[in-house]
Amino acid sequence: SKLRFLADWKGGNRYELKMDHLVCFAPGMFALSYHTSPDKSSAKAQRDLTVAKQLMYTCWQMYERMETGIAPEYIMFYQNKDFKTPATHYLLRPETVESLFILNQVTGHPIYRIWGKRIMDSIDKYCKTRYGYGALKNVHKTQQQPDDSMESFFLAETLKYLFLLQDPDVPIDLNEWVFNTEAHPLRIFI
């Protein structure tokens, strides 16, 4: 597939060639490592930014390659083949859009806002219910009703990061603010 991914470590030299949607926080983590590096031209900083972009592209492909434009819970990689989706459900997770927000802030590249808009359009099209949004049982099926359940992190994190990603006038400077695990921005006091 030629996609960069983080495999599940099973101990010793054993790995499962699986990447969970939850791992899609990692592009943002690597981008923040680059962003906070005192020497952005160093080999480590440049490596971290490259890895961030490559992992972000993989997370984007988890959305882009599905019929609904919605990512599955995890994907499996196979040698010399494209990834497969054995777990086809979607739980309205925030990790990918969190990383899109951070990469947009760090690089200023508009592709991350474009990808975020496409993800939001797909969520709105396939997950919207009468009173909110719901999880999907199968990201391959375009003709299905979303579940009648919405995790609190969808409002606290997923929608917040999508909003911040699309609003360039929001004054969130990553040198002055840090986000807690529920995406609440907290000013850094130094």
- The catalytic residue positions are 73
In Å, the largest CA–CA distance within the chain is 52
Q: 151-179 in b/e burial notation, b at 16+ Cβ within 10 A?
A: bebbbebbbbbbebbeeeeeeeebeeeeb
Inter-residue contact 104 to 28 (CB < 8 Å): no
Distances (CA, A) of 31 to 47, 116, 118: 10, 17, 22
Q: Compute the distance between CA of residue 67 and CA of residue 27 in angstroms, rounded to an integer.
A: 24
Q: CA 14, 17, 19 angle in degrees (round to 5)?
A: 125
Q: Which of 15, 2, 142 minimizes the C-alpha distance to 61?
A: 2
Q: Compute the distance between CA of residue 102 and CA of residue 85 in angstroms, rounded to an integer.
A: 26
Inter-residue contact 59 to 99 (CB < 8 Å): yes
Q: Compute the distance between CA of residue 130 and CA of residue 113 in angstroms, rounded to an integer.
A: 27
